[in-house]
C-alpha cells in the first residue's frame, strides 16, 4: 500500500509553492509549472521522496534510533506536538534554543532542573521550605522551562535524525544538525535550499493541512519502526527494555493495535477536500 496518494497530497494543498518572485533556483527540478504567479510543485516527484523519507525513518527507529520533530511556526505547532507524542518522540514546537543539539550537555542540566521543579508541590506552602514568594518564582521558572523544553524532557541524548517543518525558519536547528552530522528530513517549499536536507520532501510548508499530513506520514513511519524493533527483539530472544522497565502506555497500545489514531492515508481520505482558501496559505506568509 502506498504511503500516501496524489489525491491526498492535492486535497491537502501540498502542491502549492510560493509566489514566483520568492523562490530558490535550486528548487527548479522540483517545480512542475507556474500558475497565476504561484509555483506548482511536482507531486509525482514528491511521492518518490516521501517513500524514501518514510523508509529512512522506519529503518532508523527500527534499529533503536529516535526522531526529533521540529516546527515552531504557528501552522506546525499543533501537529508537531500531537504526532510526536503519539509515537513517543521528542519535539520542539515553541522556540528553538541555541545549543539544543550542539550543547546538549547544558540542555540536559536544564532538563534535570525542570524535573526537580516538577517534584515541588506548589499548593503546599505549609509543608514547603519556601515562602509564597519563592514558590511563585519557582513556579514561573518551571512554566518557562516546560514551554521551551517540555517536548524534549525525556530525551537522553541527541536524536538519530530530525524532522523539520520550514528549514528557512528553523535555520538554527538545521545548522546544528548539519554540524553534528545528524540527518535532516524536511519539507522543501519553493523558497528553500535543497542542499540543507538529506531526505527532502518537496511540498507546501505553510498550509496547515499540508504540514499536518506530512508530519503524520513521518509519525506513521516511526510507528512502523517501533513495531519492527519490538518484533526483532522478540524473534531473536533479546532482553527487551520492557522487561526491566514498564512499557509506556502509548507504546503498548501501539503494539497491540489499540490506538485510535488513523494512519496518514485513512485520515487524509476522511478529511474534506481542501477549500480554495487553503491554496493561498503558502503565498500569504
What pLDDT, in 10s, does the model give residues 262-275? Answer: 555 555 554 444 44
Domain final residue pick, 136, 155, 174: 155
Domain final residue pick, 88, 123, 155: 155
Residue 1 forms part of a structural domain: no
Q: Which residues of 93-129 are buried (b: 16+ CB within 10 A; e: fewer)?
A: bbebeeebbbebeebeeebeebeebeeeeeeeeeeee
Same domain for 174 and 58? yes
Residue 184 forms part of a structural domain: yes
Same domain for 64 and 194? yes
pLDDT of residue 135: 85
153: left (phi over 0), alpha (psi -120 to 50) or beta: alpha
Residue 252 forms part of a structural domain: yes
- pLDDT tens, position by position, 86-138: 999 999 999 999 999 999 999 999 999 999 998 887 777 666 777 788 888 99
Same domain for 150 and 164? no
Same domain for 167 and 128? no
Same domain for 181 and 108? no
- pLDDT tens, position by position, 240-249: 443 333 445 5
Domain final residue pick, 155, 176, 196: 155
Note whether 232 and 66 are within 8 A (CB): no
Residue 121 forms part of a structural domain: yes
Same domain for 110 and 30? no
Residue 233 forms part of a structural domain: yes
Same domain for 176 and 142? no
Cα separation, 271 vs 213, whole angstroms: 10
Q: Has residue 164 got a pLDDT over 80?
A: yes
Q: Has residue 29 got a pLDDT over 90?
A: yes
Residue 202 forms part of a structural domain: yes
Same domain for 270 and 175? yes
Same domain for 107 and 91? no
Residue 53 forms part of a structural domain: yes
Same domain for 239 and 115? no
Same domain for 193 and 120? no
Name the average pLDDT for the chain: 86
The total domain count for the chain is: 2
Cα separation, 27 vs 31, whole angstroms: 7
Same domain for 274 and 249? yes
Q: Which CATH number covers residue 182? A: 3.40.50.10490
* Structural domain for 122, as ranges: 102-155
Residue 209 forms part of a structural domain: yes
- pLDDT tens, position by position, 211-247: 999 999 999 999 999 999 988 766 655 544 433 334 4
Amino acid at each position: 500500500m502506498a504511503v500516501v496518494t496524489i489525491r491526498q497530497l492535492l486535497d491537502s494543498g501540498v502542491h502549492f509553492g510560493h509566489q514566483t518572485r520568492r523562490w530558490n533556483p535550486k528548487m527548479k527540478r522540483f517545480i512542475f509549472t507556474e500558475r497565476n504567479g504561484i509555483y506548482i510543485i511536482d507531486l509525482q516527484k514528491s511521492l518518490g521522496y516521501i517513500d524514501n523519507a518514510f523508509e529512512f525513518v522506519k529503518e532508523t527507529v527500527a534499529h533503536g534510533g529516535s526522531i526529533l520533530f521540529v516546527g515552531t511556526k504557528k501552522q506546525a505547532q499543533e501537529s508537531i506536538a500531537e504526532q510526536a507524542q503519539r509515537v513517543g518522540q521528542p519535539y520542539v514546537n515553541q522556540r528553538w534554543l541555541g545549543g539544543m543539539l550542539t550543547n546538549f550537555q547544558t540542555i540536559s542540566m536544564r532538563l534535570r532542573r525542570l524535573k526537580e521543579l516538577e517534584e515541588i508541590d506548589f499548593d503546599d506552602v505549609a509543608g514547603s521550605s519556601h515562602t509564597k514568594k519563592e514558590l511563585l518564582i519557582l513556579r514561573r521558572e518551571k512554566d518557562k522551562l516546560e514551554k521551551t523544553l517540555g517536548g524534549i524532557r525525556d530525551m537522553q541524548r541527541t536524536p538519530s535524525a530530525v524532522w523539520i517543518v520550514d528549514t528557512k525558519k528553523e535555520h538554527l536547528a538545521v545548522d546544528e544538525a548539519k554540524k553534528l552530522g545528524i540527518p535532516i528530513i524536511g519539507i522543501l517549499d519553493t523558497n528553500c535550499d535543497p542542499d540543507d536536507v538529506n531526505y527532502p520532501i518537496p511540498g507546501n510548508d505553510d498550509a496547515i493541512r499540508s504540514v499536518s499530513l506530512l508530519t503524520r506520514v513521518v509519525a506513521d513511519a516511526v510507528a512502523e519502526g517501533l513495531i519492527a524493533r519490538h518484533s526483532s527483539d522478540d524473534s531473536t530472544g533479546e532482553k527487551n527494555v520492557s522487561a526491566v522497565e514498564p512499557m509506556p502506555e502509548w507504546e503498548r497500545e501501539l503494539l497491540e493495535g489499540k490506538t485510535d489514531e488513523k494512519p496518514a492515508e485513512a485520515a487524509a481520505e476522511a478529511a474534506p477536500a481542501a477549500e480554495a482558501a487553503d491554496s493561498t496559505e503558502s503565498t500569504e506568509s
